[in-house]
């Protein structure tokens, strides 16, 4: 073994010990033995505030369609967590894009089936409620549109409801499509909001997409 390969092996060994990958290795083997074509992957969450751990967990569960009872989050040292996502079809490249909403993707370790992300805890900061709820304010649309990108379903739902009261002609076409997409998803209860007001031209009834 050459020096470079030895250094890489040592780094991986240290990383495995730090992350504590045994539960992930067990879950990966379980998926292999099951032979379903699905797999288990891990996310190394760094600098995640304790209070936000379940919000992040639920976001990643939703985004990857992970099996709820087989997927777990494990606390590690210094606000770091290992999140195991089991029974997924998500590739590591796709997982990188998903976790990028949480902060900076610092590394991907194919040998471990792990993506490492440094959390930007500012994404959890609530925007001023008075600006979010005042349609006459200059920041109303901008801030509520930003809320649509939140990983919190509650914040997304609230923003959709607030924007649904806005004049359709004021909303950009891309925002209109985003709202319609949310209404068609499981993220928002379309019964509470009139989807037709977001359509251009004659009002149409937006039907929910039936998932198989």
pLDDT tens string 141-182: 889 888 888 888 889 888 888 887 776 555 566 666 666 666
CA distance 157 to 198: 15
Distances (CA, A) of 35 to 24, 28, 71, 73: 17, 11, 18, 24
51 domain-assigned: yes
Q: Please give the tally of structural domains in the chain.
A: 2
* Percent share of the chain, pLDDT over 70: 77
Domain span at 141? 126-198
Whether residues 139 and 171 fall in one domain:
yes
Q: Which residue has the higher pLDDT, 122 or 163?
A: 122
* Angle, alpha carbons 66-27-9 (nearest 5°): 115
- What the block records as the tokens of 126 is 């609530």
**How much is the pTM?**
0.76
CA distance 147 to 129: 12
CA distance 72 to 112: 17
Whether residues 58 and 143 fall in one domain:
no
User: What are 42-101's pLDDT values in tens digits?
Assistant: 999 999 999 999 999 999 999 999 999 999 999 998 899 999 999 999 999 999 999 999
pLDDT recorded at residue 6: 83
71 domain-assigned: yes
209 domain-assigned: no
């Amino acid at each position: 073994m050459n020096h470079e390969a030895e250094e890489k092996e040592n780094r991986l060994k240290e990383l495995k010990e730090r992350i504590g990958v045994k539960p992930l290795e067990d879950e990966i083997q379980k998926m292999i033995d099951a032979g379903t074509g699905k797999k288990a992957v891990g996310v190394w969450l760094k600098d995640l505030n304790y209070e936000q751990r379940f919000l992040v967990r639920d976001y990643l569960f939703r985004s990857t369609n992970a099996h709820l009872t087989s997927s777990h989050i494990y606390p590690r040292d210094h606000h770091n967590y290992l999140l195991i996502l089991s029974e997924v079809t998500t590739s590591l490249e796709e997982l990188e894009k998903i976790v990028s909403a949480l902060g900076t993707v610092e590394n991907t370790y194919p040998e471990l089936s792990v993506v490492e992300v440094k959390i930007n805890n500012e994404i959890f900061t609530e925007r001023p409620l008075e600006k979010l709820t005042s349609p006459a304010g200059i920041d109303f649309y901008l801030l509520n549109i930003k809320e649509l990108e939140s990983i919190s379903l509650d914040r997304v739902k609230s923003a959709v409801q607030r924007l649904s009261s806005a004049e359709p002609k004021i909303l950009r076409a891309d925002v209109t499509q985003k709202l319609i997409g949310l209404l068609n998803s499981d993220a928002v209860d379309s019964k509470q909001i009139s989807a037709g007001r977001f359509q251009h031209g004659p009002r149409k009834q937006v039907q929910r997409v039936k998932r198989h």
